[in-house]
Structure 1
Amino acid sequence: MDEIAAEIGVSKTVLYRYFSDKNDLVHATMQRFIETTLMPRVYNAISLDADEYQLVRSALAEYVGTVDEDPEVYRFIMGNGSADQSSLAEFEKLFAEVVAAVIVDRATEKGIQTDGAMLWSYVLVGGIQLATHWWTTNKTMSREEVIDYLTMMAWSAIDGMARANGSREVFNAQPHVLPTPGANSAN
Structure 2
Amino acid sequence: MMPTLNPLSTASVAVNAARTLTHELEQRILGPAVEAVAGDGRKQRWEQHKQTRRAELTAGTVDAIRVLGPNAGMDEIAAHVGVSKTVLYRYFTDKNDLAAAVTVTYMESTLLPLLTDVLTDDLADYDLVRTVIGVYVETVAADPNVYVFTTGRSSGSSSAAYTERIFTGAVRSTIEQRLGARGAQVRGARTWATAIVGAIIRAVDGWISSQEQPTSELVDELTMLVWSGLVGIVSMNGDPEAFAAHPPPMPPLPEESE
| TM-score under structure 1 length normalisation | 0.87
Distance 2:101 2:198 in 1: 22
| 1:140 aligns to 2:212 (yes or no) | yes
Preserved contact between residue 96 and residue 121 of structure 1 (Cα < 8 Å): yes
What are the ranges of 5 or more consecutive residues in structure 2 without an aligned counterpart?
1-73
Worse-matched range after superposition: 88-97 or 116-125? 88-97
Structure 1 equivalent of residue 153 of structure 2: 79
Pairwise CA distance, 1:127:
1.0
| Count of residues paired in the alignment | 184
Preserved contact between residue 75 and residue 85 of structure 2 (Cα < 8 Å): yes
Worse-matched range after superposition: 7-16 or 59-68? 7-16
Task: State the SS of the aligned residue for 2:156.
Answer: coil
Distance 2:146 2:238 in 1: 38
Distance 2:156 2:172 in 1: 29
Worse-matched range after superposition: 120-129 or 13-22? 13-22
- Structure 1 residues 112 and 137 mapped into 2: Cα distance closer, same or farther (>3 Å)? same
Task: State the SS of the aligned residue for 1:7.
Answer: helix
| 1:3 aligns to 2:80 (yes or no) | no
- What amino acid is aligned across from residue 89 of structure 1 in structure 2? A
What are the ranges of 5 or more consecutive residues in structure 1 without an aligned counterpart?
none
Task: State the SS of the aligned residue for 1:140.
Answer: coil
Distance 1:88 1:140 in 2: 24
Worse-matched range after superposition: 141-150 or 176-185? 176-185
Mapping of residues 2-151 of structure 1, within 5 Å: 2-77=75-150, 78-80=152-154, 82-83=156-157, 85=158, 87-151=159-223
Pairwise CA distance, 1:184:
10
Pairwise CA distance, 1:175:
4.2
- What amino acid is aligned across from residue 190 of structure 2 in structure 1? M
Preserved contact between residue 26 and residue 80 of structure 1 (Cα < 8 Å): no
Structure 1 equivalent of residue 231 of structure 2: 159
Alpha-carbon RMSD: 2.3
Pairwise CA distance, 1:142:
0.4
- What amino acid is aligned across from residue 199 of structure 2 in structure 1? G
Deviation >6 Å, runs of 4+: 181-185
Task: State the SS of the aligned residue for 2:238.
Answer: coil
- What amino acid is aligned across from residue 134 of structure 2 in structure 1? A
- Structure 1 residues 181 and 66 mapped into 2: Cα distance closer, same or farther (>3 Å)? farther
Preserved contact between residue 153 and residue 160 of structure 2 (Cα < 8 Å): no
| TM-score under structure 2 length normalisation | 0.65
Distance 1:61 1:81 in 2: 24
Distance 1:183 1:52 in 2: 35
Pairwise CA distance, 1:36:
1.9
Pairwise CA distance, 1:41:
1.1
Larger radius of gyration: 2
Preserved contact between residue 57 and residue 151 of structure 1 (Cα < 8 Å): yes
